[in-house]
């Protein structure tokens, strides 16, 4: 663990480690088929509620006990470091983009989400085949939305999507961007494609055709769409970074055991200096990534603007995880690529992290712009 965790956080960490040993690992070992997963997920949720982890991503007004960014980062990294899909069920639903919702958005969406009765998806990415980015025309008290969104994770089973749209006034002049909550069963929503990415996520491309929603479905105000979307993405970027470093920790642990085990050459692979150098690189990179992650989480807790630091962390931690897990595969050899091997699954999972929540090079461009044009960011 990086140094300087408070006594309180050390206690939380220790109880999280016990939770992983006593609940997650035995349940993971008991999974025999995909059909069992829903039942086992319910067991994880129940145990997490009893242990108090469930409430750490939830606001106090919904019965939650929100944790600091540092605590959540530490826990997310620990969850990833056991390489079990079941850890995805430990935290309860979080408000995400709806965090400051008022009126109908609060009663009909945010509150049911917090009770676990509704689920939303995030529709940000535009389709490459669209003639123009998704747009909305103001028509009295309504917005009329047209466009295409792609890669909406969980979009086909979600109750609603929060979509970024460019709003124009009735005369065609620009009114700004808005995040709009759209019911999935609105007759103007058409699912054009459903697909699965290599790490197992299910996604949807959807079209909006003269879709009408009340202007009360706008989160905040028209003009606030992009900053709201990016604010939400910022939190998720730190989450992805913690996931990436946790994956590195699991991979290093796995490689260590492999290097100590028997090898057909007659002596363990870990005896060879060349192998040790590769292993050392895995540790060096992971050490730096974790130091970056924890520093940024601490900065975020001060309330400072950490947009650029979060970008730097996300790029570094996810690219590090790509290299570390690739090296783990290399050192374990061909067996790591056999379907069903844990490194095979991890190798597929880690690839998406350099694209989700902002492709690495796009983030590099934003980081440079933040400093050179907006004088934001620190070293």
Ligand X SMILES: Cc1cc2nc3c(=O)[nH]c(=O)nc-3n(C[C@H](O)[C@H](O)[C@H](O)COP(=O)(O)OP(=O)(O)OC[C@H]3O[C@@H](n4cnc5c(N)ncnc54)[C@H](O)[C@@H]3O)c2cc1C
Q: Is 361 in the site for ligand X (CB under 6 A)?
A: yes
Q: Is 122 in the site for ligand X (CB under 6 A)?
A: yes
Q: Is 85 in the site for ligand X (CB under 6 A)?
A: no
Q: Is 123 in the site for ligand X (CB under 6 A)?
A: yes
Question: 204: number of CA atoms within 13 Å, CB side?
Answer: 21
Among 124, 208, 254, 279, binds ligand X (CB under 6 A): 124
Taking CB under 6 A as the binding criterion, the range among 63-71, 102-110, 145-153, 308-316 that sits at the site for ligand X is 145-153
Give the dihedral sign, CA 303/304/305/309.
negative
Compare residues 147 and 358 and give the one whose CB is closer to ligand X.
358
Taking CB under 6 A as the binding criterion, the range among 19-27, 276-284, 303-311, 358-366 that sits at the site for ligand X is 358-366
CA distance 308 to 319: 17
Taking CB under 6 A as the binding criterion, the range among 70-78, 119-127, 295-303, 368-376 that sits at the site for ligand X is 119-127
Among 17, 359, 368, 374, binds ligand X (CB under 6 A): 359
Helix (H, G, I), strand (E, B) or coil at 173: coil
Among 194, 352, 366, 376, binds ligand X (CB under 6 A): 352
Among 188, 201, 268, 342, binds ligand X (CB under 6 A): 201
| CA 369 from centre of chain | 24
8 Å CB contact between 164 and 135 = no
- Minimum CB–partner distance for residue 129 and ligand X (Å): 12
Taking CB under 6 A as the binding criterion, the range among 219-227, 274-282, 316-324, 356-364 that sits at the site for ligand X is 356-364
- Minimum CB–partner distance for residue 346 and ligand X (Å): 15
Q: Is 189 in the site for ligand X (CB under 6 A)?
A: no
Number of residues that bind ligand X (CB under 6 A): 17
Compare residues 111 and 126 and give the one whose CB is closer to ligand X.
126
8 Å CB contact between 376 and 307 = yes
Q: Look up residue 326 and give its two tokens.
A: 């690739």
Question: 365: number of CA atoms within 13 Å, CB side?
Answer: 5
Q: Where are the alpha helices (DSSP H) in the chain?
A: 7-19, 25-30, 37-51, 69-80, 103-105, 111-114, 225-260, 273-301, 307-332, 342-352, 360-372
Q: Is 345 in the site for ligand X (CB under 6 A)?
A: no
Burial, 336: exposed, middle or buried (Cβ in 10 Å; 0-12, 13-18, 19+)?
A: buried
Q: Which residues contact ligand X (rule: CB under 6 A)?
A: 122-125, 151-153, 197, 201, 352, 355-356, 358-359, 361-362, 365
């Amino acid at each position: 663990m990086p140094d300087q965790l408070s006594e309180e956080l050390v206690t939380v960490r220790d109880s999280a480690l016990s939770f992983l040993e006593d609940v997650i690992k035995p349940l993971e070992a008991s999974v025999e088929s995909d059909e069992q997963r829903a039942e086992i997920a319910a067991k994880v949720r129940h145990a997490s509620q009893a242990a108090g982890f469930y409430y750490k991503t939830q606001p106090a007004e919904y019965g939650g006990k929100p944790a600091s960014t540092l605590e959540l980062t530490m826990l997310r990294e620990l969850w990833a470091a056991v390489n079990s899909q079941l850890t995805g069920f430990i935290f309860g639903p979080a408000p995400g983009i709806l965090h400051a919702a008022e009126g109908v958005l609060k009663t009909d969406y945010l509150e049911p989400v917090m009770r676990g009765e509704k689920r939303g998806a995030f529709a940000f990415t535009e389709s490459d085949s669209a003639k123009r980015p998704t747009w909305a025309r103001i028509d009295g008290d309504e917005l009329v939305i047209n466009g295409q969104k792609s890669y909406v994770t969980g979009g086909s089973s979600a109750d609603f999507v929060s979509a970024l749209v460019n709003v124009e006034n009735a005369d065609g002049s620009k009114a700004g961007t808005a995040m709009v909550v759209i019911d999935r069963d609105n007759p103007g929503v058409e699912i054009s494609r459903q697909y699965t990415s290599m790490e197992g996520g299910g996604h949807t491309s959807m079209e909006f055709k003269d879709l009408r929603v009340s202007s009360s479905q706008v989160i905040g105000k028209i003009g606030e769409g992009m900053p709201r979307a990016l604010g939400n993405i910022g939190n998720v970027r730190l989450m992805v970074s913690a996931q990436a470093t946790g994956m590195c920790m699991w991979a290093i642990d796995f490689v260590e055991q492999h290097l100590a085990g028997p090898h057909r050459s007659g002596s363990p692979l870990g005896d060879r200096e060349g192998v040790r150098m590769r292993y050392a690189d895995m540790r060096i990179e992971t050490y730096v990534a974790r130091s970056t992650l924890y520093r940024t989480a601490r900065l975020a807790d001060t309330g400072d603007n950490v947009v650029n630091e979060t970008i730097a962390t996300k790029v570094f931690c996810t690219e590090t995880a790509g290299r570390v897990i690739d090296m783990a595969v290399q050192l374990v050899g061909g067996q790591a690529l056999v379907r069903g091997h844990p490194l095979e699954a991890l190798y597929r999972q880690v690839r998406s992290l350099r694209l989700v929540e902002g492709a690495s090079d796009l983030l590099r461009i934003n980081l440079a712009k933040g400093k050179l044009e907006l004088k934001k960011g620190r070293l």
